[in-house]
A and B are shown apart, each in its own frame.
Chain A
Amino acid sequence: MFDPSFVGKEYAPFTVEVEKGRLRLFAKAIGETNPIYTDEAAAKAAGYRSLPAPPTFPFTIAMDAEQPFLVLADMGIDKTKSVHGEQAFTYYADICAGDVITGQQKIVEIFEKKGGALLFIITETRLVNQADTPVCDLRTVIVVRNG
């Protein structure tokens, strides 16, 4: 049985700077060949301030701040028993190299399935840039195997 008082818990805000070199490495790692993701001149020609962060990069921003593991540690859950069940992104504005992104994670829902054999933890994180513009919301479902 989980502690229901965790539902609604908000964690301390975190801040991550989006670095050009990191975005280039990310593009290389995923086999991205569109030059807007690696060549700043191509990015600017496409109307971006600098290299844009690809669609799933916001999760890396949260990961850099160790947000997914923070919740598990806080709830006393062994992370080797957890898997990433679902991930959703809602986009509001570009995230580009040079941006300083602040986020805050909240536990929005916790429930059990299969008689308590599986625990589902749902968190939401809003990312806001240095101009206080919301850029992306993340919704993460973590599934924990009990026992």
Chain B
Amino acid sequence: MNVTYDGIQVGDAIPALTKPAIGPLQLALFAGASGDHNPIHLDEQAAKGGGLPGVIAHGMLSMAFLGQVLTDWVPQRCIRNFSTRFAAMAYPGDVITCKGTVTAKREADGDKLIDLEITAENQKGERTLIGQATVALP
């Protein structure tokens, strides 16, 4: 099922992605994999010492999930740009769901472009990431 420009309408939702609950093992793996070794993601005491209620998930882990909602939908090479605002923190135990909605279709320099609003939200429906992406489609 290839996604095509003509098959997409403004207002369409792309398939949502719900990730398994974020756990301490995932945060440890992501610390190593991402190169972000900030102890606020790993060490409860360090997080509390920094004024946080406890360990928080890496914002870039949630943004990686948001990237997956795009790459599960279209090949990665279609993505022209991808951005987000980190609107709220995610914590261990949170279940993050990523969603995308088509906000515009436009042609520029011979490319057929789709603009999307993409968001990540937790199990309470609070938006943790609010972002945009543009993909070029055949």
Contact = CB atoms under 8 A, between A and B. Distances in A.
| Chain A partners chain B | yes
Interface of A: 22, 25-26, 28-32, 34, 46, 52, 54-56, 59-60, 63-64, 79-80, 83-91, 94, 139
A33 to B, nearest CB: 9
Interface of B: 19-20, 26, 29-30, 32-36, 38, 40, 50, 59-61, 63-65, 67-68, 70-72, 75-77, 79-86
Contact of B34 (A63, A79, A83): A63
Secondary structure of the B side of the interface?
helix
A60 B33 contact: yes
Nearest to B50: A80
Contact of A54 (B20, B26, B35, B71): B71
Given A29-B30, A80-B50, A86-B86, A56 B60 contact: yes
Contact of A89 (B36, B61, B81): B81
A96 to B, nearest CB: 11
Nearest to A93: B77
